[in-house]
Amino acid sequence: MAACLLTPIQGQVNRFNSKPGNLTLSVQNLQGQTNLDTLNSHVKDVTNPHSPISVTSTCTSTSITFTVQGGKTYFINLAFAQIPPFNSQANVNETPCGQNIDSIDVTNLFPAYVVIA
């Protein structure tokens, strides 16, 4: 199994330390259908929080990928659509290592994560 880039920061929700490299977060459907909203899912470089910069990423209905550079801090803002809307469940996993990052359901359709490299 491939090594994970992300390490959760103990005692903090949705905050991760990261090694440099290509980071992919993927949707794993558990029940129903959950898709990433490709128009409203974004990655920003917030190393200077007063001047966030959009980061080039590849976003499909099932994953988002971007390059993590050392010394940078990133804000990942995801949006999901679900069918059926009240019974669908999915996980967000780091690919290819398989580490679970988050659970998506009707109460968590717009999660955000901070990644510190």
pLDDT at 44 over 90: yes
Cα(74)–Cα(89) distance, rounded to whole angstroms?
26
pLDDT tens for 26-42 read: 999 999 999 999 999 99
**Is the pTM value of this prediction over 0.75?**
yes
List, as one string, the DSSP characters of the chain: -PPPSEEEPTT-TTEEEE-SEEEEEEEEEEESEEEE-TTT-EEEE-SSTTS-EE--EEE-SSEEEEEE-TT-EEEEE--EEEESTTT-EEEEEEETT--EEEEESTT-SS-EEEEE-
Give, in degrees to the nearest 5, the angle at Cα 91 between 102 and 57: 75
pLDDT tens for 52-110 read: 999 999 999 999 999 999 999 999 999 999 988 888 999 999 999 999 999 999 999 99
